């Protein structure tokens, strides 16, 4: 059941991921900036995926990984507005107000799962499995 929830969240959020990719192409002329944005997105996705697979396996990754994953996800959401502010001279408030709500809306299934996974993994020490019998 858990793996179905994860798969459904990724499928329902795929349109948002695609549109984020299209939006990032506006940074293509900045070369290295686009690389940094893509790196942040891959890092956020890998953290999300690792938390999801640990949840499916009934393992908890701990508060440290949960906090780092949350920071990675927030940086991923804000990567394009920050880059547009720093390198295109746009207002951060304008960029964040126009881009972030659409990202959040289109990726809300994966975002909701990320919020739940952060709470789940931060609630107990790392590497505690729910499938193991208590000692």
Rounded average pLDDT over 69-83: 82
Q: Indicate whether this model's pTM tops 0.85.
A: no
Q: How far is CA 21 from CA 9, 72, 88, 91, 134, in A?
A: 18, 17, 18, 21, 45
- Give the per-residue pLDDT at 82: 76
- Give the per-residue pLDDT at 36: 80
Selected residue with higher pLDDT from 94 and 14: 14
What does the angle CA 97 – CA 99 – CA 101 come to, to the nearest 5 degrees? 70
With cut-offs at 50, 70 and 90, classify the pLDDT of residue 47.
very high
| pLDDT, tens digit, 9 for 90 and up, residues 78-122 | 777 777 777 666 665 666 666 677 777 888 888 899 999 999 998
Query: Is the pLDDT score of 127 beyond 80?
Result: no
- Give the per-residue pLDDT at 131: 53
Mean pLDDT, the chain, rounded, equals 80
| d(C-alpha 44, C-alpha 57), whole Å | 20
* Percent with pLDDT over 70 in the chain: 76
CA 21 to centroid of chain Cα atoms: 14
């Amino acid at each position: 059941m858990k793996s179905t929830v994860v798969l459904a969240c990724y499928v329902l959020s795929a349109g948002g991921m695609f549109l984020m990719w299209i939006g990032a192409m506006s940074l293509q002329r900045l070369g290295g900036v686009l690389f940094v944005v893509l790196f942040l997105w891959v890092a956020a996705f890998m953290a999300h995926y690792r938390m999801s697979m640990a949840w499916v396996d009934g393992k908890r990754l701990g508060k440290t990984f949960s906090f780092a994953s949350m920071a990675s996800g927030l940086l991923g959401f804000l990567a394009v507005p920050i880059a547009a502010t720093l390198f295109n001279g746009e207002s951060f408030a304008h960029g964040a107000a126009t881009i972030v709500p659409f990202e959040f809306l289109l990726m809300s299934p994966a975002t909701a799962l990320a919020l739940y996974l952060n709470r789940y993994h931060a609630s107990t020490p790392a590497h505690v499995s729910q499938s193991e019998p208590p000692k």
